[in-house]
Amino acid sequence: MGIHSMELITVVVQRKDGQKAIDSALKHGAPGVTSFYGRGTGVRQKLSLFGMFIEAEKHIILIATTAEKVDKILDGVAKDLELDKPGKGFAYVQTIGRVYGYYEGGDGKKPA
């Protein structure tokens, strides 16, 4: 049987702020993160150069964690990265239906 009451926090920030987001998530209790780069455009990122749009590179951070830890991690990351300010990035939470293989023991071993 898998773990229930899991949520996925997704944080999208400018590429230069990616490591800061990762460090913040870990500081506020994230058991680990998965991160990758992406490209996206928004109203603020559309810059015209010879009639072409330049897409800003983003750093996307995924944090799977138990529901009890979500508020602390999300609020901490939002504060540390000033996500309440325009152009700083955004974060959202999704409920994870079922999970297998998720262990927070730190030693990589399954609980007894």
Residue 26 lies in a domain: yes
In a domain, 87, yes or no: yes
For the domain that residue 10 is a member of, what is the CATH number? 3.30.70.120
Strand-pairing partners, residue 45, are: none
Q: Is residue 89 part of a domain?
A: yes
Q: What's the pLDDT at 64?
A: 95
Residues spanned by the domain of 26: 6-96
Question: Measured on CA atoms in the order 93, 24, 80, 85, is the torsion positive or negative?
Answer: negative
Separation of alpha carbons 34 and 76, rounded Å: 18
Per-residue pLDDT for 79 more than 60? yes
The predicted model scores a pTM of: 0.79
Q: What percent of the chain has pLDDT over 90?
A: 62
Phi first, then psi: give them for residue 75, nearest 5 degrees: -65, -40
Cα-Cα-Cα-Cα dihedral of 39, 44, 46, 49, to 10°?
-120
In-domain check, residue 58: yes
Beta strands per DSSP E along the chain:
6-14, 34-40, 47-49, 52-54, 56-66, 90-96
Would residue 109 count as lying in a domain? Answer: no
Do the domain assignments include residue 59?
yes
Q: What residues contact residue 45 under an 8 Å CB cut-off, 6+ apart?
A: 54, 55, 56
Residue 107 lies in a domain: no
Q: Based on the structure, what is the number of domains in the chain?
A: 1
Q: What is the mean pLDDT of residues 105-111?
A: 56
